Amino acid sequence: MTDFDVIVIGAGGAGYTSAFELSRGGLKVLMLDPKGVLGGNCLYEGCIPSKTLWYGSSFLSKARKLPFLKLSVDFSKVVEWKDKVQELRFRQHDEELREHQNVTFLAKDGVLLDTNHVKVEDKAFSAKWIVVATGAYPFVPEGFQDGITTHELLKPGTTFREVPETLAIVGGGYIGVEMSSIFAKFGSKVTLYASHLLNVSEEIQGLLEARLKELGVEIVKDRSKGVKRDGDRKLVVTEKESKGFQEVLVAVGRRPMTSPVSGVLPLGKKGEVQVDYGMRSSVPNIFAPGDVNGRHMLFHVAVLEGWVTAQNILEGGREVVEMDYNAVPYAVYSDPQVAWTGMWKEDAMKLGFNVEVRRYDLSKDSRAQIDGEPEGWIDIVLESGSRRLLGAQVVGEDADLLIGELSLAVGQRLTSYDLSRFSQPHPTQLEDITTLMRRY
């Protein structure tokens, strides 16, 4: 007799989605997370707080672009608002938890003892199924420990409540790019240490680099070797020089959090728990949705993987649902925003597709003109002949929202004819998608 039907280790997007779905299916679930709150790193120190800072800084951009708008934004008040948003969402998750009486939540660590037992402090709980949804953590290379990560910057009640006069950011991924523009708008003198920006086209990299420089960001492409304290300053050391800053943010990537399963589950080359498309690990009764599997470290992907996990467990372990990663939407809250889904032109051509790329320049869009945001474009990648949508990229205002419709189209294998039959609301940039689809 087992203590629970399922034990879920981790209460982020993958963990709580799995737990709630399994509870609705009538299974008895134990969910564990030492944070004591639901939402994972996304809510605690990631997507939600970072986008709150981004939203505050976006008003400063608007004020520079629109001649009738004059305003100031208090960074410390934005941080207070960030805390309130986090607190609100924690409370809402608590309400969700109370709605699922089959879920027992403990604010504790869980460590896998074997394939059916999890140790929680001095107790061992048994279950037929185990869901490992432990997420990931900010990677800090040796020699960079004197910098801060998004944990210190964005956690609830952070002490980081004033804009630093000088700020160095190490890493040109989405965190580095977003934070560079955010803090530059708030008045920091920002230096970004990055050999390149994002894994996107050279055209988009060039645009982002030019925009960051307009905001006053200095981009250093020399390789960083470490961060060292020097009195009340922190030095970033490169192969050529050392330069001092008030603060240094280390944003060089994330690593799967696998210490709770060490010795029980074999790990892949990048330290991830390897899974199939049904989220099952190499151990038949153990599933691993979310960042811990290293496939796509995105909250919305983790949520879907958690749902897939639950469906397959509810069917007795039969793989009735699989993940489809061909239409994952990516959105980077840079300046301008960048979003994409499916294949880029080069990817499609490497796979043997004959492709056609269509572009709509947002400078021609009425809504972009109204909002004072004419910079950017929408690209769609079509398979020649069938006109099936293979991928899309959006650069500009509301790229994060526009990519949703395009991702749906890619995932459902829709053609330009299918989309050309839609009537979009006016005036919005959604109309531009339909315009592109109607070009034969």
Rounded mean pLDDT of 82-96?
98
Q: Above pLDDT 90, what percent of the chain?
A: 98
Res. 193: pLDDT tops 90: yes
Rounded mean pLDDT of 261-284?
96
Concatenated DSSP letters of 114-157:
SSSEEEETTEEEEEEEEEE---EEE---TT-TTSB-HHHHHSTT
Rounded mean pLDDT of 99-104?
96
Q: How far apart are CA 210 and CA 47, in angstroms?
A: 25
Res. 261: pLDDT tops 70: yes
Domains 4-138+255-323 and 150-252 share a fold: yes
Tell me the pLDDT band of 418, cut-offs 50, 70 and 90: very high
CATH superfamily of 327-437: FAD/NAD-linked reductase, C-terminal dimerisation domain (3.30.390.30)
* Amino acid code (one letter) for 371: D
Q: Write down the pLDDT at residue 40.
A: 96
Domain made up of 4-138+255-323: CATH architecture = 3-Layer(bba) Sandwich (3.50)
Sequence ranges of the domains in the chain = 4-138+255-323, 150-252, 327-437
Return all residues near 66 (Cβ < 8 A) that are at least 6 apart: 372
**CB contact at 8 A, 15 and 131:** yes
Q: Write down the pLDDT at residue 409.
A: 97
**CB contact at 8 A, 184 and 190:** yes
Q: Write down the pLDDT at residue 439.
A: 78
Q: Write down the pLDDT at residue 440.
A: 58
Q: Write down the pLDDT at residue 415.
A: 97
Please state the separation of Cα 20 from the chain's center in Å.
22
Q: How far apart are CA 153 and CA 195, in angstroms?
A: 23
Tell me the pLDDT band of 180, cut-offs 50, 70 and 90: very high
Q: Write down the pLDDT at residue 2.
A: 84
**Model pLDDT for residues 107-117, shown as the tens digit of each residue:** 999 999 999 99
**Model pLDDT for residues 381-401, shown as the tens digit of each residue:** 999 999 999 999 999 999 999
Long-range contact set of residues 225-230: C-beta below 8 Å, sequence gap at least 24 = 225/143, 226/143, 226/144, 227/143, 227/144, 227/145, 227/146, 227/147, 227/170, 228/146, 229/146
**Model pLDDT for residues 284-308, shown as the tens digit of each residue:** 999 999 999 999 999 999 999 999 9
* Angstrom distances, CA of residue 295 to CA of 34, 101, 324, 417: 24, 32, 12, 32
Comparing CA positions, the residue from 172, 208, 194, 205 lying closest to residue 334 is: 208
Domain made up of 150-252: CATH architecture = 3-Layer(bba) Sandwich (3.50)
CA dihedral 72, 76, 79, 85 (to 10 degrees): -70
For the stretch 277-314, what's the b/e string if a residue is b when 16 or more beta carbons lie within 10 angstroms of its beta carbon? ebbbbebebbbbbbbbbbbbbbbbbbbbbbbbbbbbbb
Question: Average model confidence (pLDDT) for the chain?
Answer: 96
